[in-house]
Amino acid sequence: MDSELTTLYWHVGHRIRQDILKEKRAEYGEEIVAALSAQLEAEFGRGFGEKNLRRMVQFAERFPRRQDCRSTAATIGLDALHHAPASEGLA
């Protein structure tokens, strides 16, 4: 995975956590991500499905600083993050 795509995924996850979910875990987060996914897929096409958005949020949770996400993802491969145990609920 190239660094630009990794950075894009981190930014999307970070913005969802910070600006939309206000960095809180809550039941309504699932509904928000589902609605956001539908909007993004309608506007930008594939790649913004609900499952992918959840992974982007998890990615931003695990690497709160952007510079850490790029080097770590390059080292271990972003696919390894997809197989890591998911947190309960959604941020």
What is the domain count for the chain? 1
Q: Where are the beta strands (DSSP E) in the chain?
A: none
Q: Is 88 contained in some domain? A: no
Domain range for 40: 3-82
d(CA 43, CA 17): 20
Residue pLDDT, tens place only, 25-80: 666 678 888 999 999 999 988 889 999 999 999 888 888 877 666 565 555 455 55
Q: Is 33 contained in some domain? A: yes
Q: Phi/psi class of residue 63: alpha, beta or left (left: φ > 0; alpha: ψ in -120 to 50)?
A: beta
Q: Is 91 contained in some domain? A: no
Q: Is 89 contained in some domain? A: no
Predicted TM-score (pTM) of the model is 0.69
58 closest CA partner among 6, 5, 10, 1: 10
